[in-house]
A and B are shown apart, each in its own frame.
Chain A
């Protein structure tokens, strides 16, 4: 009984397509329209308001600086962590499990955790005071301490978001047969050479996925920043949130949303070009 039922696959993916269409494409089109219209007619007024706003330049700069600081550190850390667990024989799962705990915590909760450490009456000050390094409570998270605030936010983001990168990298590393490394070792490659000439090229696909995912998420950073810095450290999503909720100006909020999407898409395209994955050159 071989009946031609070529419609079945389409029927099976239909619900997800409808779901995405209703809850993604429709709002996307609406947002795009909201951003480039004013009272129902095409207009760049929202864009102009966005660009001329006092916080716009700072939020763009902050978002990019944070992404540039956080993503490379996370990739390096994830590669290091992944390479370390790869050498382990026992207890590997336990270590991975502990490392991925931050994944199970919401952005805002992660922000609160670090707030409890870094605020004036927080654990960091207590420890520094106890050790006699500081004489009175020190503020780390104010507009007067921009560098400390930036570092605090970066550390919190690294703590929160490295696990997802590591999971992707570990999965990639697991795909590399150990014979490749052994062959390289036999033929005289040092551990560093093995890593740069064999491992890294072979985990390109994982590296590409991790970079895209992590960069897009970094451009969307919000809750951690909001918890630690409030508006002392404006970022793009924070500004969108403010225009939406504080100023009740949905048009400018939509303009920010569109800008974030364009930046994310551009970053993705850059990665697809820069970290090219040629299926012919994979195991």
Chain B
């Protein structure tokens, strides 16, 4: 078990700056996701922590010890790769045992550890098989078991579920959470899938363009995104951003009035689609509905508010026709206000 301190890590590939000074502290036993779109630098950061890539500047400390310059094997970590990287020429047993064999563990310890890891991941029936006979999900279990068998202080996972089909991904996600909670391993999990990050993480670090935009619990990051990017990236549908006029420190939305952290000019309202309610006629913020999609569990409305594109969610019991205008009541506690100039949000009102 170990905590990890990432201290101002920079990485350039030629003229391209992949990481522009990233700092992050991960507590012992914590599960932190690096979440961001492809090309944002999250995998590069993970590979630097692993020791598979060198950083241009900065420090990584695992358990208070700087590991920059150490070989991957001397960093006390294990890794799960996106395409599993389960060795095809070894049985599942030998795959899971690989790290222990490299540590020259005796057969009794290998057997004990392999059985323990295989038990956690439910792969005991396949121990004698070769990976090519297994499904993608089973191979991913082997990869996780191989990583856990060495009882690493730190577990690194690089998009471990993205090669699985949707249903299996959901199943593995739940299972991973259980297994990792039980193992208590400090975990860094790279993903571009915000639902995975939300569901699994203690904290999420949203990475964008070589920087960390926000670090917080899933609920914090979801409810109070630090920037417009975070709000737009997390959540489905993404957060709506509606520019509104401010008069005397107040914004008017239908019959409602909100005090905002600006005196005049304009401010951007960050509005989560599912936080609205249908207002009594003539009292809400008007939304022109272009398409209404009944999704079964809810009703998804796509259209515009104040001439700006918006998507909101109403209970499945509501009926709205395409082309209709509906009034919306906003929940003052769940609004985010952002600066129209730089897209940074104002601190949440106390």
Contacts and interface: CB of A to CB of B under 8 A. Distances in A.
Interface of A: 177, 179-180, 182-189, 193, 198, 201-202, 279-283
Contacts of A183: 79, 81, 85, 87
A182 to B, nearest CB: 5
B198 to A, nearest CB: 27
Contacts of B85: 177, 179-180, 182-183
18 contacts: A177-B85, A179-B81, A180-B85, A182-B79, A182-B81, A182-B85, A184-B87, A186-B52, A186-B73, A187-B99, A187-B102, A188-B99, A188-B103, A189-B98, A189-B102, A202-B89, A280-B132, A282-B88
Contacts of B89: 201-202, 281-282
Nearest to A279: B132
Contacts of A179: 81-83, 85
A282 B132 contact: yes
Nearest to B79: A186
A208 B66 CA distance: 45
Interface of chain A, main secondary structure: helix
A186 B78 contact: yes
B81 A202 contact: no
Contacts of B87: 180, 183-184, 198
A280 B103 CA distance: 28
Contacts of B81: 179, 182-183
B132 A187 contact: no
Given A179-B81, A189-B102, A281-B130, 8 more contacts: A177-B83, A179-B83, A179-B85, A183-B79, A183-B87, A187-B78, A187-B150, A280-B133
Contacts of B146: 187
B92 interface: no
Contacts of A180: 85, 87
Contacts of A279: 132
B2 to A, nearest CB: 16
The 9 closest A-B pairs by CB, nearest first: A188-B102, A188-B73, A179-B85, A187-B99, A183-B85, A201-B89, A281-B89, A186-B79, A179-B81
Contacts, number: 61
A106 to B, nearest CB: 39
A121 to B, nearest CB: 52
Given A177-B83, A280-B130, A281-B132, A186 B88 contact: no
A188 B104 CA distance: 10
B99 to A, nearest CB: 4
A279 B88 CA distance: 10
A8 to B, nearest CB: 33
Interface in B184-198: none
Contacts of B50: 186
A226 to B, nearest CB: 43
Interface string B45-72: 0000011100000000000000000011
B34 interface: no
Contacts of B98: 184, 187, 189
Nearest to A200: B89
B77 interface: yes
B70 to A, nearest CB: 12
A202 B146 CA distance: 19
Contacts of B72: 185-186
A165 B73 CA distance: 33
Interface hub of A180, A188, A193, A283 (most chain B Cβ within 10 A): A188
A53 B130 CA distance: 54
Contact of A186 (B77, B82, B103): B77
A187 to B, nearest CB: 4
Interface in B261-313: none
Interface hub of A179, A185, A186, A187 (most chain B Cβ within 10 A): A186
A76 B72 CA distance: 28
A202 B88 contact: yes
Contacts of A193: 102
A180 B52 CA distance: 12
Nearest to A281: B89
Given A177-B85, A281-B88, A283-B88, A185 B130 contact: no
B92 to A, nearest CB: 12
A177 B163 CA distance: 16
Contacts of B82: 179
